[in-house]
């Protein structure tokens, strides 16, 4: 999916070319068909080749994936997912990033307050 979001659309050969240690052509085709069957991709035929592209904008797909991740691995707990994310990225957060995170927390807090 990352390749298709980055390129906008691609045929099987382009997907294989963009993958490090790419699997076989039939394996990539199978994976693309599965993603299409699940509604993540559509294809159009051009010059005898299937050209695949995502069905949703990247941000919408990311939101859905995050909701599934939150529900599956973190029992729908925002606290748990944030604690895990912060522990994984702890040494990589600079002051500006922490300020942006604090601003998001403040914004969420303000949205819950009456008359906000």
Question: Where in the sequence is the domain holding 75, given as residue range(s)?
Answer: 58-112
Cross-strand pairs, 51: 44
Say yes or no: 95 and 68 in one domain.
yes
Q: CB–CB of 27/6 below 8 Å?
A: no
Of the residues 37, 54, 71, which one is the last residue of a structural domain?
54
What does the pLDDT read at residue 111? 82
User: Which positions of the chain have pLDDT values less than 50?
Assistant: 116
CATH code, domain with 43: 1.10.10.10
What does the pLDDT read at residue 114? 67
Q: Is the pTM of this model over 0.75?
A: no
Say yes or no: 11 and 50 in one domain.
yes
What does the pLDDT read at residue 112? 74
Cross-strand pairs, 53: 42
**Coil, strand or helix at 50:** strand
């Amino acid at each position: 999916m990352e390749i298709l979001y980055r390129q906008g659309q691609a045929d099987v050969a382009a997907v294989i070319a963009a993958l490090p240690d790419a699997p076989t052509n039939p394996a990539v085709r199978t994976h693309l068909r599965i993603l299409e069957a699940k509604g993540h991709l559509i294809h159009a035929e051009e010059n005898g080749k299937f050209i695949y592209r995502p069905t949703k904008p990247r941000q919408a797909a990311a939101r859905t994936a995050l909701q599934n991740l939150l529900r599956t691995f973190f029992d729908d707990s925002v606290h748990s997912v944030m604690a895990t994310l912060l522990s994984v990225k702890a040494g990589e957060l600079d002051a500006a990033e922490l300020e942006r995170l604090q601003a998001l927390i403040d914004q969420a807090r303000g949205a819950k307050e009456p008359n906000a």
